[in-house]
Structure 1
Amino acid sequence: MSRHHLPSIDGWHTVAVGWDAGMNTFFAQVLDPVDEVTLDRGSPVDPINDPAEVINLVRDHVFEIPASMTDQLSADRDAEPHDAQRLAEVTALLTNLRNIA
């Protein structure tokens, strides 16, 4: 999972974009100063497959977006691709551990 923080326009909000290999989606998040979610997009139910989309989602909330951010997000996905088989194995392991306890 990658997470890149971007400077918010007001300096108070937390703005982040990234890649979540486990959920197989890019994501965009904006949190207010008390960590209440203002924007949270990108989930297994509503995946974002294009890194430019998450950039567009946060564009109105940030002071500046590095020109290389779309390329960086693509590189993050390439470095940690979604592995459905591995996710299933970890889920089964955790389920078995819960049953033992």
Structure 2
Amino acid sequence: MDKNIQAIVNNCSNLTLKINLGPRYRVSKNGMMHGSLWLEVQQECYRLKLTGEPKLLLTNFINTITNQKPTFDQGNPVWHLSFDGEMEKIVKYLNEI
């Protein structure tokens, strides 16, 4: 379990965390039936992918705070970010919306 990911999700009362193969971490919002925020630890950063409702609700927010345009994986936006404050803001924003 990645300590950074676990710590930020544990501080968010409306989110749940599941480890999938890879290891890829699936962050789900309670009450959202479709889609998740996916995090994958890579060598120098974290890969963040959005699907379903989180994709609709978070894409503009992430583009604004990171000043990056995403790449796409199967039509879903992907960013490569460090855990330097931006990732925490994104996860907390998902928790609050």
TM > 0.5: no
Using structure 2 for the length normalisation, give the TM-score.
Answer: 0.38
Using structure 1 for the length normalisation, give the TM-score.
Answer: 0.37
